[in-house]
């Protein structure tokens, strides 16, 4: 699922005056979850009472929390069991886990970003469409306005990987300085949400509104208010490097040959941070840094091997589409 988009997208939509009550999950498998990223902000509380959750959504139009024992309690147990037993990917289990939290939060309109490709739960477009259809059918079955986008995850979205780095990237985006692919996806999804929230008549109008709140500071203000009201340090907005945990070492990974980046899988190690210097379709010279590794240990030969195994340099490359299709 498109968890990297969740944090900045929620702030953008909230800035339009649309309530965003979000109940999110933790890491499952190799991907860092929304809650894991937010907990990189010192003091941020992902578990608050139902009363405080409702109060905050009314005040800020935004709250991102984890499922408590009173919200989808069965899912919390099943989710933990799936993680430790490495359960095979099951569309009914995945769809049930996602939708139980969305329904419990009281959401009446939802756009979901379903990933496809090497770094996604669903590796093929066919499987991703099947998951999206299951989600849409459940949502519409309980009376929601609901649609799903199928988007690419054959390479990381944006330019960074890792909890602290992704919070910093979200803040950069909300200041109007984010990666083009991440902003495009957020503006696209936000446009649909603006229509569902009766703030825009067309998706094009909604997308323009999303661009405006990103570049005029309103979306950043929404994020800062949420962080403050959930106990986090609001100084993270103006000084992310001074507030967020920082890795001890920054180590570059040089290209072994010259050519074009043909593969940059998402099967990476989330115990470290990574800043991508090159993405699929970019030219690279031998010895030029492919990426920078942020680590708390200096000896990282195992991580370098994993990264080299998942990056391919070739003579040519096809740049993957960002958005494949929509399911309604």
Residue 119's pLDDT is 80
Q: Mean pLDDT, 10 residues at a time, over the chain (328 residues)?
A: 80 97 69 83 93 95 84 74 74 86 83 89 92 96 95 92 93 97 96 96 98 98 98 97 93 96 70 87 97 93 91 94 95
Crossing angle for the helix pair 180-196 and 3-15, to the nearest 10 degrees = 50
Q: In terms of Cα–Cα distance, which of 215, 164, 168 is closest to 15?
A: 215
Task: Write the CATH number for 150.
Answer: 3.40.1030.10
Q: Are residues 54 and 199 in the same domain?
A: yes
Residue that finishes a domain, picked among 242, 259, 293 = 242
Residue 257 maps to a domain: yes
Residue 12 maps to a domain: yes
Domain count, the chain: 2
How far is 269 from 155, CA to CA, in rounded Å? 14
Residue that finishes a domain, picked among 194, 213, 242 = 242
Structure tokens given for 307: 């990264």
Q: Are residues 237 and 279 in the same domain?
A: no
Residue 266's pLDDT is 58
Q: Are residues 102 and 77 in the same domain?
A: yes
Residue 218 maps to a domain: yes
Q: In terms of Cα–Cα distance, which of 135, 162, 211, 171 is closest to 33?
A: 162
Full domain range(s) for residue 62? 3-242
Phi, psi of 51 (to 5 degrees): -65, -45
């Amino acid at each position: 699922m498109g968890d990297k988009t969740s944090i900045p997208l929620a702030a953008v939509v909230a800035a339009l005056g649309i309530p965003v009550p979000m109940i999110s999950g933790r890491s499952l498998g190799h991907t860092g979850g929304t809650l894991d990223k937010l907990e990189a902000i010192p003091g941020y509380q992902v578990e608050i009472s139902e009363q405080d959750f409702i109060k905050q959504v009314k005040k800020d139009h935004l709250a991102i929390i984890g499922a408590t024992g009173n919200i989808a309690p069965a899912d919390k147990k099943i989710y933990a069991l799936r993680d430790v037993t490495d359960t095979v990917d099951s569309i009914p289990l995945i769809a049930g886990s996602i939708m139980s939290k969305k329904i419990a939060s009281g959401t009446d309109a939802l756009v979901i970003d379903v990933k496809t490709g090497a770094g996604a739960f669903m590796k093929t477009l066919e499987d991703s469409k099947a998951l999206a259809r299951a989600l849409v059918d459940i949502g519409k079955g309980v009376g929601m306005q609901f649609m799903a986008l199928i988007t690419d995850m054959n390479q990381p979205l944006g330019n960074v990987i890792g909890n602290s780095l992704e919070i910093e990237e979200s803040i950069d985006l909300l200041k109007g300085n984010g990666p083009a692919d991440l902003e495009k996806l957020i503006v696209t999804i936000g446009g649909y949400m603006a229509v569902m929230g009766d703030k825009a008549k067309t998706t094009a109008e909604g997308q323009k509104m999303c661009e405006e709140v990103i570049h005029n500071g309103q979306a950043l203000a929404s994020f800062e208010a949420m962080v403050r009201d959930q106990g986090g340090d609001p100084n993270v907005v103006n000084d992310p490097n001074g507030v967020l945990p920082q890795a001890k070492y920054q180590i570059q990974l040089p290209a072994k040959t010259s050519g074009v980046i043909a593969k940059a899988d998402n099967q990476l190690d989330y115990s470290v941070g990574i800043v991508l210097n090159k993405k699929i379709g970019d030219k690279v010279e031998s010895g030029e840094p492919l990426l920078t590794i942020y680590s708390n240990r200096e000896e990282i030969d195992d991580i370098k091997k994993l990264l080299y195994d998942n990056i391919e340099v070739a003579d040519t490359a096809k740049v993957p589409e960002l958005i494949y299709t929509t399911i309604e």
